[in-house]
Structure 1
Amino acid sequence: MKYNVAILGATGAVGQEFIKLIEERKFPVGKLKLLASERSAGKQMQVLGETYTVEEAKAESFKDVQIALFAGGPASKVFAPEAVKAGAVVIDNSSTFRMDPDVPLVVPEVNPEAIKNHRGIIANPNCSTIIMAMALKPIYDRVKIKRVVVSTYQAVSGAGKEAIDELTDQVKAIMEDRPVEARILPSASLPKHYQIAFNLIPQIDVFVEDGYTKEEMKMVHETHKIFNDYSIAITATTVRVPVYRSHSEAINLELAGPLSVEEARSALAAFPGVIVQDDPAEMLYPMPLYTSNRDEVFVGRLRPDKSVTYGLNMWVVGDQIRKGAALNALQIAEYMIDHKLV
């Protein structure tokens, strides 16, 4: 059986990744609609050997669509209800619906059972949350997690194509001894911008309560919802780094009981979608350069934290455009098809 699919935001980084993955994974597409803003309408794109013209997204765009993949952004708030009215199931990559109690927030390897409770919309978690959840779940299934301390090292592609271009432009300017322009990071919507080339920016999204950023609090609240466990103490620091693609995370866990490094390594290695790269003697550990364009989340630098009774440190890296966004959404759609939920 084939399914009529719409991709909203088809010309952006996540939208283009949707298209690549649909081709790679042989997703059963019947009719396909590529939707974007008025500015991008009229562009032509090749998908599965056919040429498609990008259409301006409108309320009526979702007629006869069964699965609507939303790449993210403010358009979700406008068009998701319209798509549901038209009979589509929306898998949304924006933050609009993530904390809505009536909307499942899903990482398919972690909480697939939540999918069946959807009312037309399923939310994709934040990219850094997805990558962390993939590493936490096999540990959580062995021993209850009491506390998580996470620091992220997030690639510029998490801020969109414009941020990728700006990193390139800034590096070229520095190499050519030209003035460096900063217009995008931490966010194009903010009044002040900083150079990212050869720099780190300890702000992703806007500041909210107690000096935390919105990105940091997303990791807290979304992880609680995905695991349906609000007893886990979580604190996060999120940092933008001059890397094109793949987010890295240093994760420190305090566990409720004993779990050896060997047991943790075994649990992670057996978990679907996780690859363990952890051999200090051979200098083997995950790095963003080598995890980009990969579907899996990579874990290494496993070692005990001896400052607490039961502690574990790990280094986690994953491609945030694939598993952190487009792949996770497509896996949700595949799960729905496999379980006849669409």
Structure 2
Amino acid sequence: MPAIKVMIVDDSAVVRQVLSATLDEDVGIEVIGAAVDPVFALEKMKAQWPDVIVLDVEMPRMDGITFLRRIMADRPTPVVICSTLTEKGSETALQALSAGAVCVVTKPKVGLKQFLHDCSDDLISAVKAAARSNVRRLVPSAPAPSAVAPKLSADAILPAGSAMAQTTETVVAIGTSTGGTQALESVLRALPRVSPGIVVVQHMPEKFTGAFAQRLDGLCEVEVREARHGDRVMPGRVLIAPGGRHMLLKRSGAQYVVDVIDGPPVSRHRPSVDVLFRSAARFAGRNAVGVIMTGMGDDGARGLKEMHDAGAWTVAQDEASCVVYGMPKEAVKLGGVDKVLPLTDIPAAILGRISRRS
């Protein structure tokens, strides 16, 4: 296989040097150039176009977001954002994801050189994941999984059990990862205010999910917010699991609520789609609809199979519309999917299923 050609665009000489050295250590990656800003980068890229761009946000002459939008409009190319992000900056990161970035790697303000050395495996994994993505499938407008930590199942958070008795209220559980910020926006913006209660796990780091939910809330008819422990799941409301914590669906009488808890990563993620889906299988059963969308790896595949086996109706995004056909592919392989649909058909399918049940 040919090496992945990478262009680094960062105004810090230290970052360019360390990133170049780090990525070049992997035989599957070749750094073909580094530039102090997007203007220089564009000149270099005329001679040889990269497979992946590693991009800072704050740079002279042209900022990274503007450059990203230009690239995605003219010649879509996988982009990994590598930037120092503060509370304010996390909104910038969401803009980058919305504009087409595959993932975001957060740089600290201090100890930068040591951080880049310590996180070399994560950076390499992010570049390789980006190279496998199909950015042309992004809808116009997560840290990389650990290779060292043990891969725990949902048993670490919630033991498997039988589904509770059926009620009349339906809940939709959605799980997604790479490419999911755009996919979720597409689905949620298409839903009317009168929609079933929805619970979502999107693989994102801490401090990102609150800003992400706030952004979606301003774009959608449904209410979207970052979940808090004990929040009620109700029609017209979408609850997004906070980064760094698991979210479980529970029953309180005839109502659904969410538990937001700490715990070890499951399927190498926290929040984990497998945890949410298992809880939906156990506490909603036939009352649930499960949707698994674009993402790398297999988080959610087993949980969706459990939902399917408990009587829930399950949907997977099709390969043609996925940025990364990983999670849906694994769910299909396990036999846990009732329907495979393109992204644009998922909102109508959810609403159609709910109307048939009512």
TM-score (norm 2): 0.27
TM-score (norm 1): 0.28
Task: Give 1 or 2: higher helix fraction.
Answer: 2
